[in-house]
Amino acid sequence: MNKWIIEFVLYAVYMVFGAAWATTGAVMPQIMADFNIDVSHAALMSNVILWAKILGAFCTSILTAQLGAKKSYLLGCVLTGLSIFIPWTNNFDLLLVIRFMGGLGGAICLVSLVPTVARLFNNKTASALNSLNCTSNIIGTIIALTLAGSLSVYFGGWRNLLAVYGVITLVLGVVWLIFFTDEEVTVTTASNDGSTDKLRIMKDAIFNRVVWGMIAQYVGAMIMMIFMFTFLPLYYAKYAHLPPESHAHLSGTVNQVGIMLGAIVGPFFKARGYHYKNWLFSTSIVMAITTFIMLFATNDILILVCSFLTGFVFATWFAFIFSIPKEMLKGANTQTVTYTMSTFWVCTFVIATANSQLIGWSIDATGSFTMGFIWVFALMVVSPIVALLVFPKKAAAHA
């Protein structure tokens, strides 16, 4: 097995998924016009993926245990590739079903990232790759935010564009099928205590304070990032009443560029020996300030600079937070990391999806984004404080 080909597939699949997900926000006015729906319903095109990722993240560890990593990841690619049927879909409910299935596939691929990297690479390389792999979704989002309109025209509409993403994912799934080998046929099945061990590992993941600290820390920033590509394009297009010369509409793209660069720099900070609790909390303060300015400022330069800084600082987390399961949990193995990441993503997606839908409803109810802005900022402030209280003390972090 060529581990670098597998790494390429891991990166590319989630990059394409990110582009398909973010394209919804970029073409939301077209979707609203095509189906004659309001903001909260159009937001379902993105939010239904979040709901699917909740179920998918929960099921991934079970699928991997039953089918093996090779077949479960291939299933994720196939489900995501179902978007090839979107051009023939004129019913909005059916469209949501296809998007939901794609979200399930995306969740399987997402949860598989950290365990697969942990299995194939040593700690130092895995930390760098965990950070790098987080840019895959960002690159996809940048593609969607900057090129979705042009690509939509080139391929004959947003439906065809989403179908193209599906074709690419299916091709990548074939590459995975050829080059990936299930080397772990789970030795625990040979033991009568295998099922007991799995239950213990799952219990440890669900009730571990480190895992819940990760969730509390990440969820506020994640909601802000979802807000950036789901709602801000609509805000600048219909609600902001910007002058023609304004460049504030580029804030989403600038934010994603900041994330990409921050993910590259993050491993260097981690290599300097900063403790994850210190780094995550101190950078959260910076993010709270830049997020407030980004959301409420009226000056283009301030908006763009703070949008970039928010993304940049957030992305430095990747090298720290996604290395925690392997480095900080006692006796961590592939199964432990898989259950941990399943728990992490399920809980994070539940909270993020609920809040994203609330924001959509607030926009329809008030006719403005003010409540949404306030809510996102409040979550950015509260989330790291809760995380600081939940994370165990440094001396107990390995327990």
Question: CA–CA distance from 142 to each of 138, 164, 320, 326 (Å)?
Answer: 6, 17, 23, 30
C-alpha 153/C-alpha 229 separation (Å) is 20
260 and 388 belong to one structural domain: yes
pLDDT at 229: 66
289 and 216 belong to one structural domain: yes
* DSSP labels, 211-222: HHHHHHHHHHHH
Helix runs in 81-208, H state only: 92-120, 123-154, 158-179, 194-207
**Do 306 and 291 touch, CB atoms closer than 8 A?**
yes
Average pLDDT, integer, range 109-116: 84
Domain membership flag for residue 397:
no
Hey, how many other C-beta atoms are within 10 angstroms of the C-beta on 3? 15
251-265 per-position pLDDT tens digit: 877 887 898 899 889
Please identify which residue in the block is written with the tokens 């895995």: 126
211 and 232 belong to one structural domain: yes
Report the domain count for the chain.
Answer: 2
226 and 258 belong to one structural domain: yes
37 and 80 belong to one structural domain: yes
pLDDT at 107: 85
pLDDT at 394: 65
Average pLDDT, integer, range 355-370: 84
Average pLDDT, integer, range 78-85: 94
Domain membership flag for residue 15:
yes
Hey, how many other C-beta atoms are within 10 angstroms of the C-beta on 246? 14
Closest CA to 182 of 110, 119, 122: 119
What value does the CA radius of gyration of the chain take, rounded to a whole number of Å?
Answer: 20
Closest CA to 161 of 17, 23, 22: 23
264-314 per-position pLDDT tens digit: 899 989 888 888 889 999 999 999 999 888 878 878 889 899 989 999 999
- Which of 155, 183, 211 is the last residue before a domain boundary? 183
Please tell me which residue, 24 or 95, carries the higher pLDDT value. 95
pLDDT at 51: 78
Mean pLDDT of the chain: 83
**Do 15 and 134 touch, CB atoms closer than 8 A?**
no
Give the pLDDT band of residue 196 (cuts 50, 70, 90): low
pLDDT at 190: 46
Tokens in use for 169? 């994912």
Q: Is the pLDDT of residue 370 over 50?
A: yes
Tokens in use for 4? 């670098």
**Do 21 and 162 touch, CB atoms closer than 8 A?**
no
274 and 144 belong to one structural domain: no
247 and 139 belong to one structural domain: no
Average pLDDT, integer, range 198-217: 80
What is the CATH classification number for the domain harbouring 37?
1.20.1250.20
Average pLDDT, integer, range 219-224: 88
Cα–Cα–Cα angle for 12, 51, 144, rounded to 5 degrees:
40
The one-letter code for the residue type at 19 is: A
pLDDT at 332: 66
128 and 246 belong to one structural domain: no
Average pLDDT, integer, range 146-165: 88
Domain membership flag for residue 399:
no
Q: Is 381 exposed, middle or buried (0-12, 13-18, 19+ CB in 10 A)?
A: middle
348 and 211 belong to one structural domain: yes
Boundaries of domain holding 371: 193-392
C-alpha 104/C-alpha 265 separation (Å) is 31
Cα–Cα–Cα angle for 248, 249, 250, rounded to 5 degrees:
85
Domain membership flag for residue 38:
yes
Domain membership flag for residue 382:
yes
C-alpha 232/C-alpha 255 separation (Å) is 11
Average pLDDT, integer, range 330-342: 75
- Which of 127, 155, 183 is the last residue before a domain boundary? 183
Average pLDDT, integer, range 134-139: 83
pLDDT at 166: 94
The one-letter code for the residue type at 258 is: G
Domain membership flag for residue 138:
yes
227 and 175 belong to one structural domain: no
Highest mean pLDDT among 50-54, 212-216, 245-249 belongs to 212-216
The one-letter code for the residue type at 236 is: Y
pLDDT at 197: 64
Closest CA to 380 of 224, 251, 226, 215: 224
C-alpha 257/C-alpha 374 separation (Å) is 24
175 and 204 belong to one structural domain: no
From 64-73, 101-110, 176-185, 384-393, the region with the lowest mean pLDDT: 176-185
C-alpha 312/C-alpha 269 separation (Å) is 13
Closest CA to 161 of 19, 41, 265: 19
Question: CA–CA distance from 101 to each of 97, 129, 221 (Å)?
Answer: 6, 27, 25
Spell out the residues 6+ positions from residue 150 whose beta carbon is closer than 8 angstroms to its own: none
**Do 104 and 79 touch, CB atoms closer than 8 A?**
yes
**Do 309 and 320 touch, CB atoms closer than 8 A?**
no
Domain membership flag for residue 188:
no
Domain membership flag for residue 398:
no
Closest CA to 277 of 188, 104, 395, 143: 395
- Which of 183, 211, 229 is the last residue before a domain boundary? 183
The one-letter code for the residue type at 372 is: G
Give the pLDDT band of residue 81 (cuts 50, 70, 90): very high
98 and 211 belong to one structural domain: no
**Do 48 and 100 touch, CB atoms closer than 8 A?**
yes
Please tell me which residue, 193 or 234, carries the higher pLDDT value. 234
From 128-132, 285-289, 379-383, the region with the lowest mean pLDDT: 128-132
pLDDT at 188: 45
- Size (the chain), residues: 399
Tokens in use for 46? 């993105």
